[in-house]
Chain A
Amino acid sequence: MGQHIRKLGPKLWVATACLVWLAAFGSMRANAPDPGSAEKSPALQSPAQAQAAAAPAQPASDATYVGQDTCLSCHDEAMAAYKDSPHHRAADKRTPSATQGCETCHGPGSKHVADPTSVKPASFKTMPAEQADATCTTCHSKGEHALWDGSQHESRGVACITCHSVHTPVSETGSLKKKSQTEVCASCHRDKVSKVDRSGHMPVREGKMECSTCHNIHGTTNVKLLRKGDSIADSCVSCHADKRGPFLWEHAPGRDGCTTCHDPHGSSNDRMLVAKPPALCQRCHVATRHPSTIYDAGLVATSVRVFARSCVTCHSTIHGSNHPAGNMFVR
């Protein structure tokens, strides 16, 4: 039985997932109340929402809420892109639009209305990063953002609004301040982003991958903010599963970390190698005879150990082999 299930493997899980998903979707659609209805299932309300539904709450300070329309009477430009954003979906009870509007994030505005010149509402452009983040993480603290506290970016004072814009997003998804993730990340990580223009590259500039394909910028359990697995190699083999083995004969530095030989961001060398073979391989192999030979220009035209795929032309199973004679990765 176990072997049968194992043989079905992915097909069984995909089919199960489909059935679960159809059942969940169907039952959820049947049971979900109309969001406009006053009769909302108690299970779908948080305590805060239930309280808010009873009576509009006022802030603890002596400033009071004035309502979104008051804000827009002067700051209507703030609505231009915001109205199409997820924050403006009043149907979602968690959003600012469903609670106090502009004042959900910028604070109660009565004092600003009374004295617009001297009293300003909370501005995310000038407040400390921790304060800005505290506002965003009131809602965005789970899922993708669960590990934000103490993450590499957060601990350096990089705020949510460093990359994201609620009112003037430029990207199609993610409310980013620039058109694409690579443009945003290039602000600080210019050396990494510029590598995607090299001849050996992943399909990032072709739009098939983004920085977030491999990294979770908001915090992860892996090193280097890698999204999958618990090591660099785990992350790489999540897509390049043919390299994960197991193998009878292993190339140990590959298991230790793919970045010993490859540059995942891009390289001018074939297969995104950090250096051209044989020079790359000769960083670790100086055995007698051909591993320690100087492959200079005199040998380029005649030696298959230099041109084409160089060492890997013969040692082609370089990531691992299951052949009895595969200890040198030529079989």
Chain B
Amino acid sequence: MRHYTAFALALCALLPVAATAQEAVATTTQSGSIDLGVRGSSLTGDAARYERYRDLGDGLFLETFRWKAQKNGWFLDAGADHAGRRDQRYTVNVVRPGTFKAWGQWDQIPMLLSRTTRTPYSSTVPGEFRLDDAVQAQLQALATAARPAAVQALVNGSAMFDLKSKRHSAAGLFELMPTVDSAIKVSVKHTIREGAQPFGGAFGHSQVAEFAAPIDHRLTDFDASAELERGPALFRAGYTGSWFTNEVTSAVFDNPLRATDISGTASSGRLSLPVSSTMLGVNGMVSIKLPSKSRLTAYATMSTLKDDNGAVLPMTSNSAELPAAGLPTRASLDGEAQMRGFNLNFTSRPSTYFSVNARMKYYDYNNKIPSFVSSRKVAYDGRLSTTATLESEGYSVTRLNFDGDVRITPKGPAALTLGYGRYTDQRTHRIFEKTVDNVMRVKVDTLSTGVISVRGVYEHAQRRGEGFDVNVLLRATEQPGMRHSDVADRDRDRFTLIASFMPVTNWALNVSSAVGRDDYLASEFGLRDNNHDVYSIGIDGTPSDKVGLGVSYSYEDYRALSRSRQANPGAQTLDPSRNWATDSADKVHSLIANAEFRNLAEKVDLAFSWDYNRTRATYEYITGAVTDRTLPEEAIVPSTLPTPVALPPVKSDLWRGTVDAVYNINSRIAIGVTYWYDKYDVEDFTLDSQAQSTLTAGNNMLLYYTYAPYTAHTTWGRLMFRW
């Protein structure tokens, strides 16, 4: 019954389509193709990562089915991909050009995270993760020193299971054009997401239990709009609705080391999962064509987000603390937010040599959830504390953006654009009350010459915060010199260049470059700079109408520096000799090559491709000053911290090669062979199987969700039929 909405939707979409199809098939032109295959794979390593969002199981499969028909002005398209597989998709499209259009789709997206996860938890009630009481009692009785090994033995002795989820969606789009100047459009999409994801629950700073948190979501999106064109004006009005249902809004997980609740430690923990919610909104737009190739567009929207009778969870799952903890100061979430938006765009091209664009965008997110205040807190479901008062801070933001561009096109091959933008954000409960970002842009674009095309942009931006409130940091026991990078003062320079050179019509040389420098100039702590350099070069060519070749290489370099001070409360927080920094770098090389040969010996099509992606990420710790990134006013003192032990680099390499050969027996039938080679190598000090297998210390119960390499050879024979 849970899926009835999806089925109802699909049925609604398909019934008339089927009626149309029946009529269409009877008499008219039709064409189609079907691509069947038999697949076999040889795989070593992480099968889950190889498949991830696909179903590549062995055996017979329908790769694609396509069918087109038309009769008396009706056009029908139907398609199926991977029919019968977990990643199957079905699409149908019915068009009466100029009058009516209907589109429907059923799509399944699997997500396979791991085939090697283990857990001793069992879950007979959704959201509850239980251990055998006897196991808990046995572990509780052990001496502290003996517990880690016992916990690991418990996990290692558990059966493996697939950690996975799936998204199934049914979508329909209906468009009616009563006149050539008007259109009514309705779209509905219902998505079911089910499965599990890794989630952690803590019983203190030194004990964590991971479990496969349930995903049981329903999301229905409804959009309706009406559009009318009258003379130079276009009017549009719309309604949007979004209903999200989460069937499991809390997770309870047993403590492996505690069979019974006591003050200070619970036998189980409980944490919150997202609540169901509804978002409803309306919008309207007017776009008017003006003289001198000008247009003015105004758009307004308002919407409301509310929770669906969401509840504040109980104070604690610890029965020993619950009497003293009592009830929460509020039982219901009372969650509500109102969003308002208004855009005004003006564009004009009064002459061949000059054009102007101006945009204003206003957005307001008003969080109306009442503040939750409590002087009682049971941290980690352990012990009740009444020493501090907690008060929630509903975050709101108002944005006002202005953008203007003037484009000058003198006689000659290039256009010059000068642009300015001012982005003002006002926020609640952040360290800055307001930030203003001033952006200057210069753009150069060559005009159509057919031989060479160059596009370049240089952008300089300065963001400055106003209304700095140090108490926001101090309340969170943060350093007063910390600045959060998403709102901190920041100078930005960015340059991008894209050039394409076509010396002859069949060949093109493309080069591109993107360079960016973000300097958080006033941040004593936190992100200090964030830079990127990306370069690419590629050649594409069709030396003949039977041959297509292409090769491209790109290099990406991302670097960021952030600063901190390792300190316990007290004097250490003021000691600059305890400063340290993380210099992180991400370097990626990627190479893509492809070749296509069509109609070899008039019957054979061959295609080759090769993809190589090599990533190296490093996290270098630096103690003491970072010479060229230290603020002038900082005290430079020798570090008193021990020299950090360097972290190993993170490696992620992906090779993928494909060969596709098709022999066209005649115009209707073809046979083919396809071969895929996939290889993935990974070394990740946080997530690869080596990292987690060495974890024997501590009382932590993990899922063993890891990254592991794989090598796969996949081959399939194909039979294609066209009519």
Which residue among B97, B285, B359, B621 has the maximum number of chain A CB atoms within 10 Å of its CB?
Answer: B97
**A242 contact set on B, CB distance < 8 A:** 217, 244, 246, 273-274
CB contact between A246 and one of B336, B478, B485, B525 (< 8 Å): that residue: B336
Give min CB distance, B57 to chain A, whole Å.
Answer: 15
Give the number of chain B interface residues (Cβ < 8 Å): 215
Which A-B residue pairs are the 5 nearest by beta carbons?
A246-B335, A92-B97, A150-B347, A10-B220, A18-B12
Q: Does A157 contact B (CB under 8 A)?
A: yes
Pairs A–B under 8 Å by Cβ, sample size 30: A10-B5, A13-B220, A34-B72, A34-B73, A44-B98, A44-B99, A93-B180, A130-B293, A147-B297, A149-B295, A188-B455, A188-B512, A194-B613, A230-B341, A246-B275, A246-B335, A248-B392, A250-B393, A253-B486, A256-B427, A260-B486, A277-B686, A292-B566, A296-B647, A297-B685, A301-B695, A308-B210, A322-B311, A322-B313, A323-B312
Give A149 to B99 CA distance when docked, in angstroms: 25
A198-B613 contact given A6-B278, A11-B5, A127-B448, CB 8 Å threshold? yes
**B584 contact set on A, CB distance < 8 A:** 275-276, 279
Main secondary structure of the interface of B (DSSP, over half): strand
**B450 contact set on A, CB distance < 8 A:** 125-126
Give A221 to B562 CA distance when docked, in angstroms: 35
What per-residue 1/0 map shows which CB atoms of A139-176 lie under 8 Å from chain B?
A: 00111001101100001110100000000000000000
Contact indicator B648/A297 (Cβ below 8 Å): yes
CB contact between A293 and one of B378, B566, B619 (< 8 Å): that residue: B566
Q: Does B60 contact A (CB under 8 A)?
A: no
Contact indicator A203/B53 (Cβ below 8 Å): yes
Give min CB distance, B687 to chain A, whole Å.
Answer: 6
A150-B357 contact given A156-B445, A198-B613, A286-B479, CB 8 Å threshold? yes
Contact indicator A241/B244 (Cβ below 8 Å): yes
Q: Does B615 contact A (CB under 8 A)?
A: yes
Contact indicator A157/B445 (Cβ below 8 Å): yes
Q: Does B682 contact A (CB under 8 A)?
A: yes
**A331 contact set on B, CB distance < 8 A:** 269-272, 313, 380-381
Instruction: Determine the residue in chain B with the shortest Cβ distance to A159.
Output: B448
Give min CB distance, B559 to chain A, whole Å.
Answer: 11
Give A142 to B381 CA distance when docked, in angstroms: 57
CB contact between B190 and one of A10, A89, A197, A320 (< 8 Å): that residue: A10
CB contact between A276 and one of B70, B199, B377, B686 (< 8 Å): that residue: B686
Contact indicator B99/A13 (Cβ below 8 Å): no
Of B133-141, B150-158, B361-369, B630-638, the one with at least 4 CB within 8 A of chain A: B361-369
Interface residues of B in 338-358 (CB under 8 A from A): 339, 341, 343, 345-347, 349, 355, 357
Give min CB distance, A155 to chain B, whole Å.
Answer: 5
Contact indicator B377/A324 (Cβ below 8 Å): yes
Contact indicator B277/A245 (Cβ below 8 Å): yes
Q: Does A119 contact B (CB under 8 A)?
A: no
Instruction: Determine the residue in chain B with the shortest Cβ distance to A285.
Output: B478
Contact indicator B687/A308 (Cβ below 8 Å): yes
A128-B448 contact given A11-B5, A25-B100, A246-B333, CB 8 Å threshold? yes
Give A150 to B343 CA distance when docked, in angstroms: 13
Contact indicator A250/B394 (Cβ below 8 Å): yes
What per-residue 1/0 map shows which CB atoms of B205-222 lie under 8 Å from chain A?
A: 100101000000111111
* 10 further interface pairs, Cβ-Cβ under 8 Å (given A157-B445, A279-B619): A22-B12, A146-B234, A199-B652, A246-B369, A252-B395, A253-B486, A294-B566, A324-B377, A325-B315, A325-B378
Give A29 to B20 CA distance when docked, in angstroms: 10
Contact indicator A155/B405 (Cβ below 8 Å): yes
Which residue among A35, A149, A253 has the maximum number of chain B CB atoms within 10 Å of its CB?
Answer: A149
CB contact between B365 and one of A25, A255, A269 (< 8 Å): that residue: A255
**B185 contact set on A, CB distance < 8 A:** 143
Of B119-127, B458-466, B700-708, B714-722, the one with at least 4 CB within 8 A of chain A: B700-708
Which residue among A91, A95, A257 has the maximum number of chain B CB atoms within 10 Å of its CB?
Answer: A91
Give min CB distance, B313 to chain A, whole Å.
Answer: 5
A150-B198 contact given A91-B73, A221-B299, A276-B686, CB 8 Å threshold? no
A282-B564 contact given A221-B343, A276-B619, A301-B695, CB 8 Å threshold? yes
Give the number of chain A interface residues (Cβ < 8 Å): 133
Q: Does A78 contact B (CB under 8 A)?
A: no
Of B37-45, B302-310, B662-670, the one with at least 4 CB within 8 A of chain A: B302-310
Contact indicator B647/A199 (Cβ below 8 Å): no
Give min CB distance, A38 to chain B, whole Å.
Answer: 14
A-B Cβ contacts below 8 A, count: 476
Q: Does A113 contact B (CB under 8 A)?
A: no
Q: Does B674 contact A (CB under 8 A)?
A: no
Contact indicator A308/B702 (Cβ below 8 Å): yes
Contact indicator A142/B234 (Cβ below 8 Å): yes
Q: Does A114 contact B (CB under 8 A)?
A: no
Give min CB distance, B674 to chain A, whole Å.
Answer: 15
Q: Does B617 contact A (CB under 8 A)?
A: yes
Give A190 to B315 CA distance when docked, in angstroms: 50
Q: Does B96 contact A (CB under 8 A)?
A: yes
What per-residue 1/0 map shows which CB atoms of B592-620 lie under 8 Å from chain A?
A: 00000000000000000001010101010
Q: Does B531 contact A (CB under 8 A)?
A: no
Contact indicator A246/B337 (Cβ below 8 Å): yes
Give A290 to B206 CA distance when docked, in angstroms: 11
Contact indicator B53/A307 (Cβ below 8 Å): no
**A25 contact set on B, CB distance < 8 A:** 16, 100, 102, 174
Contact indicator B188/A246 (Cβ below 8 Å): no
Give A142 to B571 CA distance when docked, in angstroms: 65
Contact indicator A323/B271 (Cβ below 8 Å): yes
Give A319 to B54 CA distance when docked, in angstroms: 28
CB contact between A208 and one of B87, B229, B380 (< 8 Å): that residue: B87
**B376 contact set on A, CB distance < 8 A:** 324
Q: Does B407 contact A (CB under 8 A)?
A: yes
What per-residue 1/0 map shows which CB atoms of A89-102 lie under 8 Å from chain B?
A: 10111110000000
**A286 contact set on B, CB distance < 8 A:** 478-479, 482, 525-526, 563-565
What per-residue 1/0 map shows which CB atoms of A301-331 lie under 8 Å from chain B?
A: 1101011111011101101111111111011
